[in-house]
């Protein structure tokens, strides 16, 4: 019985081998619907470079020479762009722009095709942000921290705020001291810029940014800004003493009124010292030009507080014709007469110290431009009838 079973099994195996040997090698194709699928090689290593309403894609043509075109899809496949691959050799770099895009984030899908229309598997790259008006409107010009003007050298020093990481440069346009139009470019590394500048002329600047590294377009700010140069120290080169009715003698005890604009903190005799008279008293200075004054600084005698002025008034006028007051400075109606003569009270100074240290203060707002200064001393730190000062300075807006 066992022998018969083994014999039957052997014959069954032989029959199976015979059947298999009669099957064709490509008989599997009948199980593939629509025939055999062919997939061209897909594009790889695609880089995107966004810009202003557009994007640039870069990749290399693959070794598969059957690829004769590429197609790029976006907007859920509703929009597409085609690249003729036959123009490129294997290994060539392919650069393709897609233009007229709205400012938004896009997902792009790439396919390769052969001449028979066979399509590769999809290559999808990370979302791409395309830039436009919204991004441009969000940009601000690089901030200016401060400015310093050297009137003697006609040099302006501009201090810049910290630059944004996407900042490229700022173009600064101005007129130099020789009256020539100039443009200078400010890089992210520039913290200060020094220029020869024509006083009173406009300075404009506009910054440029790049959204991300590799972007194909730079973006300028929508608006340019201007640098307002204010509070410039007034040059003392043209100052001089003038004598109006009732002015106090200001060159007492071997001193000279001009000592208070010699640029040095004064000790005796390099000071102003009144001579005789009474308190209040005043003296008058010609600044040499009409200016919109903004600040004032005074320092007293350095080697002795003595008669340092601590309470005094600073008056100004643009023309002294018929401006002399007939009343003495200690007359109760002196202020009313001064105003009637055209003088403006620029500031009342009340110092609480001994008057030695420099004391800087803003002048009143809304005052008119002036050329002539009258200082009316009201009280000294030792309540003397005489007064002295060491140095005074003014600042102005051009």
Tens-digit pLDDT profile for residues 295-318: 999 999 999 999 999 999 999 999
Burial (Cβ within 10 Å: 0-12, 13-18, ≥19) of residue 298: buried
Tokens 């302006």 found at = 156
| Residue 162 CB neighbours (<10 A) | 11
Considering the segment(s) 47-130 as one domain, its CATH architecture is Sandwich (2.60)
pLDDT tops 60 at residue 5: no
Query: For the chain, what is the mean pLDDT?
Result: 92
Q: What is the DSSP letter of 63?
A: S
What is the band of 151 on the pLDDT scale with cuts at 50, 70, 90?
Answer: confident
pLDDT digits (tens, 9 = 90+) for 185-237: 999 999 999 999 999 899 999 999 999 999 999 999 999 999 999 999 999 99
For the chain, give every residue range classified as CATH 2.60.120.260.
Answer: 240-397
Select the more confidently predicted residue: 27 or 125: 125
Per CATH, the number for 240-397 is: 2.60.120.260
Mean pLDDT of 336-355: 98
Q: Which residues pair with 209 in a beta bridge?
A: 167, 219
Quote the pLDDT of residue 276: 85
Positions of CATH 2.60.40.10 in the chain: 47-130
User: pLDDT confidence of 3, banded at 50, 70, 90?
Assistant: very low
pLDDT tens track for 231-260: 999 999 999 999 999 999 999 999 999 999
Integer CA distances (angstroms), 221 to 135, 142, 205, 374, in order: 10, 10, 10, 48
* Alpha carbons 125 and 367: distance in angstroms, whole number: 65
Instruction: Please work out, in degrees rounded to the nearest 5, the angle formed at the alpha carbon of residue 204 by the alpha carbons of 203 and 209.
Output: 145
Give the separation between CA 203 and CA 341, rounded to whole angstroms.
38
141-229 classified as CATH 1.10.10: no
- Look at residue 373 and tell me whether its pLDDT is greater than 80: yes
């Amino acid at each position: 019985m066992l022998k018969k079973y083994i014999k039957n099994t052997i014959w069954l195996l032989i029959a199976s081998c015979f059947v298999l040997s009669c099957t064709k090698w490509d008989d599997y194709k009948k199980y593939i619907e629509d025939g055999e699928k062919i997939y061209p090689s897909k594009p790889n290593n695609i880089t995107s470079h966004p810009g202003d309403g557009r994007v640039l894609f870069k990749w290399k043509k693959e070794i598969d020479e059957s690829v004769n075109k590429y197609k790029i899809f976006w907007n859920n496949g509703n929009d597409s762009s085609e690249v003729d691959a036959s123009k490129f050799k294997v290994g060539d770099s392919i650069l393709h722009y897609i233009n007229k895009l709205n400012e938004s984030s896009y997902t792009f899908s790439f396919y390769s095709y052969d001449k028979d229309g066979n399509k590769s598997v999809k290559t999808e790259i990370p979302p791409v942000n395309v830039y436009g008006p919204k991004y441009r409107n969000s940009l601000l010009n690089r901030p200016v921290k401060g400015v310093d003007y050297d009137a003697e050298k006609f040099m302006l020093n501009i201090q810049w705020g910290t630059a944004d990481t996407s900042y490229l440069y700022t173009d600064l346009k101005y007129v130099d001291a020789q009256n020539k139009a100039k443009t200078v470019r400010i890089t992210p590394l520039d913290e200060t810029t020094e220029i020869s500048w024509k006083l009173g002329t406009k300075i404009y600047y506009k910054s440029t940014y790049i959204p991300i590294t590799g972007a194909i377009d730079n973006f300028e700010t929508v608006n340019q800004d201007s640098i307002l140069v204010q509070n410039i120290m007034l040059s003392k080169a043209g100052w001089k003493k003038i004598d109006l009715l009732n002015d106090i003698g200001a060159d007492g005890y071997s001193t000279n009124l001009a000592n208070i604009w010699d640029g040095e903190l004064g000790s005796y005799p390099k000071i102003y010292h009144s001579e005789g008279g009474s308190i209040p008293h005043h003296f008058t200075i010609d600044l040499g030009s009409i200016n919109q004054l903004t600040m004032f600084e005074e320092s007293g005698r350095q080697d002795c507080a003595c008669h340092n002025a601590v309470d005094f008034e600073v008056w100004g006028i643009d023309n002294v014709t018929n401006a002399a007051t007939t009343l003495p400075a200690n007359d109760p109606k002196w202020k009313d007469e001064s105003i009637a003569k055209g003088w403006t009270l620029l500031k009342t100074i009340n110092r609480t110290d001994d008057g030695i240290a420099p004391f800087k203060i803003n002048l009143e707002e809304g005052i008119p431009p002036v050329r002539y200064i009258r200082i009316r001393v009201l009280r000294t730190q030792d309540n003397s009838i005489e007064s002295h000062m060491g140095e005074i300075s003014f600042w102005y807006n051009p």
